[in-house]
Amino acid sequence: MPTNAYGNIPVSSRINRLGAFYPLLTARWLGLGRVWARFRTSGTTPVLLPRDRAGHGPAVGREAVGATIKTMPFSLARVLAGLLALAPVFALPLAKPAEAKDELVIGMTQFPATFHPSIDSMLAKTYVLSMARRPLTMHDARWELGCMICVSLPTIENGGAVPETIPDGKKGVAVTFTFRPGLKWGDGTPLTSRDVAFTLEVGRHPQTGVSNQEFYRSLYKVDAKSDDTFTLHFDKLTFDYNAVNDMGLLPVHLEEKPFRADPAAYKNRTLYDTDTANPGLYYGPYRIAEVTAGSHVVLVPNDTWPGAKPRFKRVVVRVIENTAALEANLLSGAIDMIAGELGLTVDQAVAFAKRHGERFNVIFKPSLVYEHLEPNLENPILRDKRVRQALLHALDRETIVQQLFAGHQPVAHTGVNPLDWIHNPEVRKYPYDPKRAAALLDEAGWSVMRGGFRHNAKGERLSFELATTAGNRTREAVQQVLQSQWRAVGADARIKNQPARVFFGETVRKRTFPGFAMFAWYSAPENVPRTILHSSHIPTEANNFAGQNYTGYANPEMDRLIDAIEVELNREKRRALWKRFQDIYAEDLPSLPLFFRADAFVLPKWLAGVEPTGHQGVSTLWIENWRVQK
Amino acid sequence: MTRFLATRALQSALVLAVMSFAVYGLMGLMPGDPIDLMIAADPKLTPEDANRLRALHGLNRPILARYADWLWLALQGDFGYSRLMSRPVPDAIGPALLNTLKLMGAAFALALLIGLPAGMLAGARPRSRLDYAVNALAFAGISIPSFWLGILLIIVFAVLLGVLPAGGVAIGGGGWTETLRHLALPVATLAVAGIAGQARYMRAAMAETLRQDYIRTARAKGAGETRVVLGHALRNALIPVATVIALDFGALFSGALVTETIFAYPGMGRLIYDAVMGNDFNLALVALLFATLITLVANLLADVTYVALDPRVSFEERDA
C-alpha cells in the first residue's frame, strides 16, 4: 500500500486549492530575501518555495521583514523601507479592532440574496439572521430539541400539545406556545400572537414567494390565546409535531402594509430588502445596522433583547468568496474568524491548521452533510445489489478520510449520522475487503478478467460512468481514488464531470446520469428522507421530474417504514423502525455511503463560547455566549 | 458629422437589440433554472412548491414570450427586479458600477500616467538601457497573472507589513483615506498590466513614427530632440494608441472579475458573474447590455479621436 492513494504526489499538494501558488499564502514560508537572492544568482524567474523544507521557517512578523530587507539590494530595500515608514499612517485604523476586541469580524464565502426570513433558503442568510432573530424551537449542540423564544417546549405528555381531529376527519395536533417575557422588536413593539398569525398568512399565500410552503400547508390555523400565547394547529400528527424550527416570524406592524398592498409584489417590497437596517425587523440579541451588497453586513446589539446581553459592540460579517483570499484576510487581521458553516473546506482547514495552528483554534465538527454515490438503478450493471455491495467493499474509505481529511470526516455506513440518536451502531458495514468484493463480482457474473477489467459471459465490460461537479477539488480528488480502487478489482469507472448547474439542474434532476452521481445531501436531526427514498418521489417525465429519488429506488417495505416513522410518536418504537430502516438501507445500498462532511471553524485563540452544532441550527443562534477569553 | 453620428446611433441600437436577444437566449439555454438552484440548497422543497415558484417567476413560460415581456417593459424604462440582489436592477447595478469606476478608473489613470510616458521615452531611445528596462518591466507586467500578483500583494502589504487592508470596501462608507486604502492593492494589481500594455503600445507607435520622413526633415531643420518627439512625433504616435485606450475605456464599466474576487471587491465583474451563474436574467442582461453600450460608445470616441488627431481623416470621408 503506498503512503498515499495517488502515487508519488503528496496528498497535501493535490488538495491545495491554488496548487503551486498555495504556499504563497503562508507568511511563515515567504522569504523575500531568499527569493531575491535566488533571482539574482540564477538569473531566471524567481520560484517561491518554502524557506526550509525541514519545517523551520523564519520568525513571523515585522521583525522578520526588517531582517529580510538587509539581504536585498539597496534600491529594493529603500522601497520597502519607505513603505514601512508610511506604515503608521495607514496602519492605525487597521490595528484598532484587534486591540479593542469589542468588535468581531467574521469571514464567510457567500452573500445572502435576500434578508427576508421565509423567501429563499440560503445558508448565508440563516447565518446572519440567526444573530438578529430566533426560531421558536431549535435543536441544540447536543441535537436535543428545545425552546429558543418560548417558555417551555410543549409536548403531549405535559399537555402543551393535544392531538385533535381536523375538519377533514384526519388526525392533527394543536400545539400551544408562550413567548418568553419581554420579547420586543428592535423598535420597541412587543412580539405578539398577531405576528404569528400574520406570518402564517404570508407563508400560506401562493404569491408571496415563500420558497418552502410545506410547513405552512401543514400549519393551517393559529389561535391567539393572548398577546404572548397562541396555539398552532397542524393537519397531521407527526413525531416532530413540536419542532417549529423554520417559522420566520414577521413584524405585522411593519410588513402588513407592503403585503396587503399587493401580495404578488410583496417579495420585491418587503422591508427586509428595501429597508434592511430598520430595527423593527429584528428581535434577537443583534440587529442589522448596515448592509453593503456583496461586501459586508454590520450588526449592533439590539437594546430590546430580553435575553443574555451580547458581548461584542459590533459584529461585521465580511463576504470573501475566494478561500485563498479568505485565509489571507484572516492572517492579516482583517477578519477575526472564518465561519465553519460557510468557510474553508476540511482539506483546506487541515492544511491551514498545520501552518497556523499555533495562532488559531481550528475546530472540526462532523455535520449532517452526507457525501455519497447515487447509482442510476436503471443501469443493468448497478441494478444488481451484489455489484453495489462489491463496489463498496472495494473502497478503502477509512484511508480516504485519513489521507484527505486527516480523519476529521467520519466514514458513513448509511445516511444516518452517528451523532443522531436514531443511529444504529450495529448496522451492516462494508469494510475495505478487495477479496470479498472480487467474490461478490464473480457471483454476479463479472468473472472474466480481460485487459485488467472484468467482463461477463456476454463479453460486456464492468464499466460505468462516475460523475460529479466539475471544479470541486475535494470531490475530484476523492473521485480519482475511487476510480483507482475500483480498477484494482477490475471495475472501470469513467470519470465524466459537469459544471454544478448542469450536473444538478439537468443531469441529476432528470436522472440522465448513466452510472454513479457523486454529491451530498443536507439534512436535519432525525430527518425522514421521504423525498429521497420513497418510490412516490422518483422523478419522471410524466411527473415533470418532480421528486429527489434520483436513483429510482423502489422498495415497498422502505415506503411503509417511511410512512410509519413519520407518525410514530413513541420514541422507542420509532427507534426500532429506524433500525429496520438502516438495515434495509445497508443491505440494498440505494446509494453508496462515503462520509459525513465536517464544518471547519477557524477561530482566534481569544474567542470562547462558539459551539458548532453540525446540523441546520447554525452557531450564531447562540452568539450571545461568544466572548473574549480572559 | 450629424449623419455619421446618426448612423452610428442606429447601428448601436441594432447591436444592443441583437445582444439582448442573444444573451437572453443563451441564458435560457443554460441547463436548470433558479428553482433548480433552490432545490439544490433545500432538498425539502416539494415538487408542488417548485412548480408554484416556477409559475410565480414566469419560468414555466416559453423563453421567447419571457423575452418579449422583458423587452416591452425595458423599452418603457422598467428593467425589472434582481432576484439575487432583491432590489430593482438599476439599484443593484448602481453601487457596483460606482465601485468599479473607482477601481478601474484609478487603474486606468495610473496606466495612462505611467505607461504612456514610459513607452514614449523608450520609443524615443530605441535599444537604450531605458528601452530595455521599460521592455523588460512591460513584459513582466503583462505576463504576471492578476490572481497571483493580487495574492502576493495581499501577503506583502496586508499579512507581512499589515499596512493595507486585504480587500473589501470600507465599513460605513469610510472617509476618503479609508477608500484609498481599500483601493490601493486592487488598483495596483490592475495597474501593473495596464501600465505594461500602454507602455508597449506607446513604445511601438513612437518608434514607428520616429522612422518617418517628416521626422528626419524636422531633425534636418535643426529641431531639438524634445521638440521632435513632443511637437512632431507624439500626435501621430497617439493615433494607434487612441484605439487601444478607447477600447480599454469600455472595460472600465464591466469590471475585473479575477481581481474583484481576490480582493472581495463588490464591482461589476462579480455582479455579472454572479448574475449569470445564479440565473438572474434581469440583472445579467442589463449589466451586459450596459457594458456593450459603453464599448460602443468607446468605439465611437475612438473614431472621433482619430478625426481630432489626424487631419487626413474626416467624417465626410467616412460618410462617403
Which tens digits make up the pLDDT trace of A342-352? 999 999 999 99
Radius of gyration over every alpha carbon of chain B, rounded to an integer in angstroms: 24
Cα A397 to Cα A593: distance, rounded to the nearest angstrom: 9
Lowest mean per-residue pLDDT among A511-525, A529-543, B15-29, B42-56: B42-56
pLDDT of B174 reads 67
**In angstroms, what separates the C-alpha of A325 from chain B's closest C-alpha?**
6
Contact between A329 and B81 using a beta-carbon 8 Å cutoff: no
Cα A118 to Cα A213: distance, rounded to the nearest angstrom: 9
Cα A213 to Cα A234: distance, rounded to the nearest angstrom: 13
Chain B residues near residue A30 by CB distance under 8 angstroms: 155-156, 160
Contact between A211 and B53 using a beta-carbon 8 Å cutoff: yes
Q: What is the DSSP letter of A590?
A: S
Segment A546-551 mean pLDDT: 88
pLDDT of A542 reads 83
* Contact status, residue A167 vs residue A221, Cβ threshold 8 Å: no
Cα A531 to Cα B44: distance, rounded to the nearest angstrom: 7
Strand partners, A184: A190
pLDDT of A627 reads 94
Lowest mean per-residue pLDDT among A4-8, A149-153, B66-70: A4-8
pLDDT of B59 reads 84
Taking CA–CA distances from B34, the nearest residue in chain A reads A505
**In angstroms, what separates the C-alpha of A229 from chain B's closest C-alpha?**
29
Which tens digits make up the pLDDT trace of B73-131? 999 999 988 988 888 999 999 999 999 999 999 999 999 999 999 999 999 998 899 99
CB nearest to B166's CB, from A113, A332, A547? A332
Q: To probe the interface with A, which of B171, B274, B283 has the most A CB atoms within 10 Å?
A: B171
Phi, psi (deg, nearest 5) at residue B274: -60, -40
Cα B243 to Cα B228: distance, rounded to the nearest angstrom: 23
Amino acid at A408: H
CA angle A249–A253–A258, rounded 5-degree value: 90
Contact between B87 and A273 using a beta-carbon 8 Å cutoff: yes
Q: How many CA atoms lie within 13 A of A239 on its CB side?
A: 21
A:B CB pairs within 8 Å: 210
Give me the residue label for grid cell 473589501: B168
B61 touches chain A (CB under 8 A): no
A91 touches chain B (CB under 8 A): yes
Q: How far is CA A437 from CA A320, A447, A459, in A?
A: 45, 12, 20
Amino acid at A307: G
Contact between B151 and A25 using a beta-carbon 8 Å cutoff: yes
Cα A380 to Cα A456: distance, rounded to the nearest angstrom: 12
B33 touches chain A (CB under 8 A): yes
Q: What is the DSSP letter of A150?
A: B
Which tens digits make up the pLDDT trace of A99-126? 457 999 999 998 998 999 988 778 899 9
Q: How far is CA A593 from CA A414, B97, B316, in A?
A: 6, 46, 74
Contact between A21 and B163 using a beta-carbon 8 Å cutoff: no
Q: To probe the interface with B, which of A29, A332, A537, A548 has the most B CB atoms within 10 Å?
A: A332
| A389 band by pLDDT with thresholds 50, 70 and 90 | very high
Answering whether pTM is above 0.90, one says no
Is the ipTM above a cut-off of 0.85? Answer: no
Residues 6+ positions from A234 with CB-CB distance below 8 Å: A172, A173, A174, A175, A218, A219, A220, A241
CB nearest to A332's CB, from B38, B84, B159? B159
Q: What is the DSSP letter of A467?
A: E
